[in-house]
Amino acid sequence: MDLTVAIISYNTKDLLEKCLKSVNEAKSSVSLEIVVVDNNSADGSVGMVREKYPEAKIFENQDNLGFAKGCNQAIKKAAGNYVLLLNSDTEIVEGCFDVLHDFMNSHENAGAVGPKILNFDGSVQYSCRDFPSFADATVHAFLGAFFPSNPFSKRYKRVERNHESDQEVDWISGAALCLRKEAVESIGCFDEHYYMYVEDMDLCYRLRQKDWGIYYNPKAKVYHHIGQSSKQMSSKMMIEHQKSIYRFYSKLYKDKPWRHLKFLIGIGLFFRGLLLIFASLVKRSRNDERRTPNVERKKSGNA
């Protein structure tokens, strides 16, 4: 088997169906298998897969194990030499499988390669990034969500870099990430202490420590709806995000002077999480207020 396409899913039935449809419709010369890991969805996702895509292997978890554990399940069960991990809210563009497969075949040191990830309006999602300096990481963590155009966040996201050519990078987004099974198994797969977020950065970091290359190839393309699973438990996911950032910072800077600021970073991330939750609640309240007058006008018109 050349390539295993592994989709991690949680309560995204309609998007998962679109994802699977795009996988089936993307013509390819490589031999494929499709694996779906379902993290205890309650929306009929499993039934839909079994009914409409019986060729897919589905692993039905009895709990939401998180992204890292779901990925590890798929990797361990994969028959392919390479494993393309996909979020369930992605859609494949034709040619993607061949490009990624051929790239891995021609780059024996490649532990991972990521495609160009696009928003559905055609704009680029900045999916290939550098490991941040302490200054960039700190400022991005606290300003990135509120002032995304600040220079620290732009540098971290490689906003002003070339996104149209093959290149080696530090890490690739796990929304669409093609892995050499041999390489990822050699480092013990994903760190399952991460429930969601940052596990992709951590994996690439450990691959690079073992001299595996991490690459970006824009000739392969994938569309992505951002955050369709995580937004269902937004406050919990915001907390998990802070925990994941703290865990990775602890690894990245364990031999640097910044390690002495670990306690302060933890406190800062705690308050960052509270601030993000508050901002989310305010945004939700404002959206509700905008919808309320429309509902009242409809009622008045019916009366």
pLDDT in tens, 84-117: 999 999 999 999 999 999 999 999 999 999 999 9
Query: What pLDDT, on the 0 to 100 scale, is given for residue 139?
Result: 80
| Res. 162: pLDDT tops 60 | yes
**What SS3 class is residue 217?**
strand
As a whole number of angstroms, the distance between CA 204 and CA 184 comes to 9
Domains of the chain plus CATH, in order, are 3-289 (3.90.550.10)
Question: Mean pLDDT over residues 39-52, rounded?
Answer: 97
Residue 281 pLDDT: 72
pTM of the model: 0.83
Mean pLDDT for the stretch of residues 193-213: 94
pLDDT tens-digit map of 122-151:
999 999 998 877 788 778 777 777 788 888
Q: How far is CA 60 from CA 41, 80, 111, 202, 236, in A?
A: 9, 20, 28, 26, 23
**With helix as H, strand as E and coil as C, how does 249-265 read?**
HHHHCCCCHHHHHHHHH
CA distance 173 to 114: 7
3-state secondary structure of 49: helix
Average pLDDT over residues 218-232: 78
What type of residue is 303?
Answer: A
Q: What are phi and psi of 190, to 5 degrees?
A: -70, 150
Q: What is the distance between the alpha carbons of residues 267 and 263, in angstroms, rounded to a whole number?
A: 6
